[in-house]
Structure formats: C-alpha cells, structure tokens
Amino acid sequence: MQEKTNIDRLKEQIQKEQDICKKYQEGSSTLVLGKEYNVSYTTINKILKINNIALRNHSEKTINAYKTGKMDHMVNVWQKASKRWLGENNPRWRKIGDIKYDTQGYAIIKTENGWIERARVVAEKKLGRKLKKEEIIHHINYIKNDDRVENLYLFKNGKEHRQYHGANRQLKIIGMNKLLLSNL
C-alpha cells in the first residue's frame, strides 16, 4: 500500500472542511459536528470562520433546535413547570396587601396599581385623597417602617423636605433639633 502524500492529506482535510460547512448549513450544531469529527466545537467554529460561514446566534440556534426536533422533550417539561409555578404557586407571587421592604428599608405594600410605600397609603387614607407625585412623606422619628399617622409629616415637595433636613442638620450641630408634629 502506498503512503499518503501531503497532497492527499491536504485534499482530505479540504474535503472534511467542506463536509463540515455543508452539514452546518444544513442545520447541524457545532457541538454535534465536533463530536462527529472528534474535535472541539471551537475548532469547528474556526473552520466555519475560515470558510466565511456566519455562525448562528442564540435565537437561530434555538429555532434550529426546534426545527430538528431536539427541543421536543423540553416542551412537556416547560408546560408542566409553567402550570406548577402559575399565580399563587410561584414563590414570588404576592397578594394585594402583602408587605415587603425596599432596599432603603421602607415598607412597601402591594396595591391594585402595583407597589407603593406604605407611608403614602397611610397618608392617603388619612387625608381622604391621593397624594400628588411631588408630595413627600417624612418619618418624624426617622424610623423608616414606623408608618403610624402621628409619625408622618407631609411636605408639599422635595425642596421643602430638603430645606427641613438642611435646617435640622444645622440645629443638630449646636445641640438642638427642630421637632415636627404630624400634619396629617
């Protein structure tokens, strides 16, 4: 038997690369081709790149997996999971009236319109009207989750609220404190 010459090996390599490119364009994944040709998928990626074949993005890979039937087994899994985690069965599910705390420590409550600071809900209930967006609720004792009516003060806007804190900071320096009484 004759030994393979370098030219023969080169021809085989070119043929192998052409086969890889053709199979990839027909829908095979780089992972499957890597296993078939006993190389890594990154080697397949390089071969495709050298031959000017665009790699599929994630969406195209997913669509291709559906078309080739590789996702059929997952459809049942997802359907079962979606039913199992719907609504109140979902660990993130919250009922209207549920309370959680935001990253700053304020109590927020679930309402029909989404999440709102509990202090605003208490103030709205006491005033009998919706608060304007610019109105600020201040906790008199600085305890962020103490939402008793007697601990809440309503500022018309953020400017008034900042002025109060600025004046209060100056008074604290000389050992005094400007105390507020609830205006609700």
- pLDDT tens for each residue of 107-157: 999 998 889 999 999 999 999 999 999 999 999 988 999 999 999 999 999
| Helices 41-50 & 6-25 angle (0-180, nearest 10) | 100
Residues 68 and 27 in one domain: yes
> The tokens of 162 are what?
């900042």
Question: What domain range includes position 124?
Answer: 99-173
Within a domain: residue 42? yes
Residues 82 and 18 in one domain: yes
Q: How far apart are the first and last CA of the chain?
A: 102
- pTM, to two decimals: 0.52
Among 35, 58, 87, residue at a domain's last position:
87
Q: Per-residue b/e over 51-62, b at no fewer than 16 CB within 10 Å?
A: eeeeebeeeeee
Residues 13 and 81 in one domain: yes
Find the angle CA(120)-CA(103)-CA(132) to the nearest 5 degrees.
25
H-run or E-run covering 107 = strand 107-111
For residue 45, the SS3 value is helix
> The tokens of 4 are what?
């393979």
Q: Taking 60 as the threshold, does the pLDDT of residue 1 lie above it?
A: no
Task: Quickly count helices (H) and strands (E) in the chain.
Answer: 7, 5
Residues 50 and 82 in one domain: yes
Within a domain: residue 165? yes
Task: Find tokens 């069965």 and name the residue.
Answer: 89
pLDDT, one tens digit per residue, over 51-91 is 999 999 888 888 888 888 888 888 788 888 877 788 877 87
Residues 73 and 133 in one domain: no
Among 30, 58, 87, residue at a domain's last position:
87
